[in-house]
Structure 1
């Protein structure tokens, strides 16, 4: 899996909005945050961030408010937005093979086992990406199963 700048920026900007949310009830913050402020806080280029926020709005993850005190707010409870939701909103499916979903890829009989590798990869990614929410990230805590994966020293080794 390759995490694009678009996905990274989307998650970082959403973390800013999530941490601005009222921690007592996880409701979205009442005061919207401007794209300029989000970009400044996370060092994200303004034009790129605007395009990302538009994708997130189309996915129903953020909402914009107009006016002098306008800006961006979370449209959903941070606990209901998974990392996978964000990745899909800005970059499409978690796994694709030359822009085709793995279940739709056709191979000859010698290579058909590759389709199973792509499907298994998607299932493994879903286990992590669907289980981690913006609320988890904002709290600085990962679900136990995901945290356990980070404790494996081999996971930290580049290959």
Structure 2
């Protein structure tokens, strides 16, 4: 799985907004989001627009304007952010895994694709911004990363 720059930047920006929400410090400007995580401002503007369209952030105009989370950080999971900026978690040639069908030797492959999507959901739809911000990750995430092999590249 390839995690796009859009998704990486979106999650990092959302974590800043979650921190601001926790501190009750008000909206955060795109300039501040970009500076705090060394993100390209113009690219980030388009990403934040996608997050707003998806109903994850709200914008406030004016000198003290910027962006803020629409819901508590505990109620926004990473899967929400992934889908907002990059679409479905898993697709096979532009088709949802459960909609694929193959003949012959590949007849059971759709089951594998659905399992891949389910495993992504098991992590991304149970891990909230608040979990990442605090470092208190869900048990499933901690168990997966406790295996030393999880940290090893395979070629």
Q: What's the CA shift for 1:76?
A: 0.9
> Deviation per CA, 1:110-134, whole angstroms, max 9, x where unpaired?
2121111100101111111111000
Q: What is the CA–CA distance in structure 1 between the aligned matches of 2:16 and 2:125, rounded to whole Å?
A: 20
Q: Paired residue for 2:110?
A: 115
TM-score after normalising by structure 2: 0.95
8 Å CA contact retained: 1:60, 1:76: no
Q: What is the CA–CA distance in structure 2 between the aligned matches of 1:116 and 1:148, rounded to whole Å?
A: 24
Q: Paired residue for 1:21?
A: 21
Q: What's the CA shift for 1:83?
A: 0.5
Which of 103, 126, 138 pairs up with 2:133?
138
Moved over 2 A (4+): none
1:4 aligns with 2:4: yes
8 Å CA contact retained: 2:77, 2:126: yes
Q: Paired residue for 1:68?
A: 63
Q: What is the CA–CA distance in structure 2 between the aligned matches of 1:58 and 1:11, rounded to whole Å?
A: 16
Q: How many residues align?
A: 154
> Deviation per CA, 1:95-154, whole angstroms, max 9, x where unpaired?
100111111122113212111110010111111111100011111220122111111001
In the alignment, structure 1 segments of 5+ residues that lack a partner are: 24-28
After the TM superposition, which residues 30-45 of structure 1 pair with which residues of structure 2 at under 5 Å, given as runs?
Answer: 30-45=25-40
Aligned-pair Cα RMSD in Å = 1.1
| Higher helix proportion (structure 1 or 2) | 2
Q: What is the CA–CA distance in structure 1 between the aligned matches of 2:46 and 2:29, rounded to whole Å?
A: 14
Classify the secondary structure of the residue corresponding to 1:94: coil
Q: Paired residue for 1:88?
A: 83
Q: What's the CA shift for 1:30?
A: 4.9
Classify the secondary structure of the residue corresponding to 2:3: coil
TM-score after normalising by structure 1: 0.93
Q: Paired residue for 2:143?
A: 148
Classify the secondary structure of the residue corresponding to 1:125: helix
